[in-house]
Structure 1
Amino acid sequence: MSKSTFKILFYLRKNQVNKDGTVCIMIRLSLNGEISQFSSKLNIKPDAWDTVLCKAKGNTLKARQLNETLEDIRTSLKNHYRDIEVHESFVTVEKVRNAFLGITAKQRTLLELFKKHNDDARKLVGISKTPATLAKYDRCYRRLEEFMKAKYNISDISLKEINHMFITDFENYLRTESKCNENTTAKFMQTFKMIVIIAKNNGWIYTDPFSNYKIRLKRVDRGYLTDAELQKIMKKKFPTKRLEQVRDVFLFSCYTGLSYVDVRELKASDIKISFDGKPWIMIHRHKTDTLVNVPLLKIPQMLLQKYEGQLPKGQLLPVLSNQKLNSYLKEIADLCGINKNITFHLARHITFSYPLKTRNLQILSA
């Protein structure tokens, strides 16, 4: 690769003569064929200028002072060039000129960038982002806003001012003031780091303040249901229809492995006859958009038949909000004598002592 050649030249603008007969000394910067010309704010009479050496002629005090000033300008320009070369992805003569003249780009701030990121994500909800993902971004934005106000009494911070101490202070704030556990804190830090990476990729900061910071996610045993516990839930007669419906939706997820949002959005058109002549669920997962093919076993088939034609808006199952489902599942666990924190997500954590069989269909179709 050829080396960049940065050159500085002083010359006279002879086409504009001042009333005292002096002309302006101009500065020309050149770099890889790119040129920028601007005034040095210094004047000299044309006959006192050495066009070969590009400086004032003679050894008078005035000439020496002018030449020293020109040399200072040259040194300053070279220093700006080296600084930009070290800290930024590429150098231009315009950047060097602006740095010398004190013209700097608008300082971008953390919350300004974060807000733009979230606004862009908001437009993609339903396309490539989920409401839950957007809510995660908005929560992190609010936590950073609260943290800066509480810790530093500021409403925002320049991206270039974010350092290792700012990061660790935010982590400590999340653990102490916000009472976040280890993994919740780590997820906030992951979102924060994502914004910092965006800033670095756009050249708004030169170094990554997260370079010496490790985000640690603690491995958590989310628990599971055994086959015996699942049988208890399946056989239980519930006193209210709402608990029975919640049980049915939960069982459907147990036997298909589908997440809450995938069960909620399941449509009749998602069920197709596959190569084996049997019905399969064929969908793209809402979270990852990956294609999933799930054989529709007898129990989930019976569950779908149980509610066929009974629900509005083409729903296949009576799916409540995730919050209500989880609340009712705790009630179901108590009624079944299961001493576990049952959530809808737990439906995907089942251990079977033997292959799934078509048991208790009379309960499901009752």
Structure 2
Amino acid sequence: MKKLAPMHSINSNLWINKRRISSNGEASLYLQVVIEGKHKEFPLKLKWPVDKIDLAKGVLQPRMKNDPDCQDYNLMIRMEQGKHTEILRTYRIKNIQIDIRQFAKENRVYSQMQSFTSYMYREMESRLKRKEIVKRTWQNHNSVNALMIEFESFWNFKNIDAAWMKRFKQHLQAKNYKPGNIWTTMKTVKAYLQLAALEPMIYVDPAAANFPNPEPKWVTNYLDKQEVRKLLDLYKGDKLSIGQRQILRAFLFTCYTSLRVSDLYRANAKWKINDDFLHFLPKKNERRGKWLSVPLIPLAKTFVLNTLGTFFELPSEQQYNIELKEIAELAGINKNITSHFGRHTYGYLYMTTAGNIASLREILGHSKLETGYSGAVDHNIPKSRTNSSATL
């Protein structure tokens, strides 16, 4: 039996150039790889405040409470370190010595050919530049990438098969993610595997790219009138941080306008507010150019503070949902609120006030009634009400 080459002395540690600190106190992040006493720094293309970098532990500390980037950046560091370990392991199995020069070459090859998470990140960047996806979609896909790295630091294409996908799904289930979130995550992973399969030099296991991912049965979740009042009282009070107030303001706006979360991030001064209506072009209607008009009650107008630019400055949807859960707790609402509750709540408020399913369908832009919104209200609501605005 052939003896394996001795394990190389290698370290891959977080590193910064202390001589090159920017005027705002940030430093570019690197991984310094040391093999048999020789070193090379590999840029991570990330920056972070120097006073929030723990080089001893090799981690970044949050810049603020609930820092939206800290966890993702730390996972990206772990991903790169996992890749370095995989390179060394491969050379050891093949009984080949490796030096820092050869390691640098293999690092480039792995980034381009072997690591699915690296491929996915680069493809996300390219798709954003080509305007195939919007910034919010990029943020959501980046969050999926972080979940993947949390499961396994190095996703080698050759290891990704149906069993791998099954284990990843079980990992998400063990983390108590909701069926809808798991379905969306798996759908995103499959989409990028299918894109990678189009690359001539990359092999993707068809069983992984076509892993069964049946769509779950969706449950329409919404807030009732009493719960919406609690949020309004919280908004008027002084318990919220500036960031939380901004998020709650945006969420309440969706409760009174029916905006999808994809449109909430796009709401801007080009949209028309007049005659008590909001006129806008939904993201899903961009190709057809079909504008929608939704009733805009006075209360909803109060949530638009900036009419010259983007209505709301919001974090990633993942962070937005995290903050909504804390806001719900502060308001004493025992529900796992997400961004989608706003649109569903509008359907509930509209039906309990106007009771006109046909009008609601037109406002929401649905071609069918069987979308779940009509099921979000008491079927015994009188149908004689004709007020077109959902009010409390």
Q: TM-score, normalised to structure 1's length?
A: 0.48
Which protein has the larger Cα radius of gyration, Structure 1 or Structure 2? 1
